[in-house]
């Protein structure tokens, strides 16, 4: 953004009666789009990886983690924008699956409760005639 644009925006925000104040520009808007820096970083990492492979191959996993850590801040915004729709649809699908699973579990619990109630009723029915004392014949 140009300096005059910032001053113009600041004048609009503070009004005529306020004291002048500096409005800091957004660092994301002001960040240069420098792909040369990314290429230089990648080349440096590649040189270090080749050197590590020549001298000690056990260092390669650590270097791979370092590469991910170095490139993640630059790649995550674009990856996040691309992955967001897929993530939303998968969360919706899992939520629907969870609802259906709860319904099925409730139905299964109801069936098991019915079976237990029937078995309990049958056990009481069998125990009831055996529990009645018979009157002795006189």
The tens digit of pLDDT for each residue in 88-121 reads 888 899 899 999 999 999 999 999 999 999 999 9
Domain layout of the chain by residue ranges: 1-31, 32-125
**Residue 124: other Cβ atoms inside 10 A:** 10
CA triplet 19, 20, 23: central angle to 5 degrees?
130
The tens digit of pLDDT for each residue in 126-136 reads 887 765 656 56
Residue 23 — φ and ψ, nearest 5°? -105, 120
User: What distance lies between CA 99 and its chain's CA centroid?
Assistant: 19
Provide, rounded to the nearest whole percent, the portion of the chain with pLDDT above 90. Answer: 21
10-17 long-range contacts (CB < 8 A, ≥24 apart) are none
d(CA 53, CA 74): 26
Are 21 and 10 in contact by the 8 Å Cβ rule? The answer is yes
pTM here is: 0.36
């Amino acid at each position: 953004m140009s300096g005059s644009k910032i001053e113009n925006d600041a004048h609009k925000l503070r009004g005529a009666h306020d004291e002048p104040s500096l409005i800091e520009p957004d660092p994301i808007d002001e960040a240069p789009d420098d792909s040369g820096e990314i290429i230089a970083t990648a080349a440096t990492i590649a040189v270090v990886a080749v050197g590590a492979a020549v001298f000690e191959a056990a260092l390669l996993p650590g270097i791979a983690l370092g590469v991910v850590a170095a490139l993640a801040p630059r790649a995550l915004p674009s990856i996040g924008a691309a992955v967001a729709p897929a993530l939303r649809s998968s969360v919706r699908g899992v939520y629907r699956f969870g609802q259906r699973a709860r319904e099925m579990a409730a139905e299964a619990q109801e069936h098991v409760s019915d079976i237990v109630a029937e078995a309990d009723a049958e056990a009481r029915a069998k125990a009831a005639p055996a529990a009645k004392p018979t009157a002795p014949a006189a």
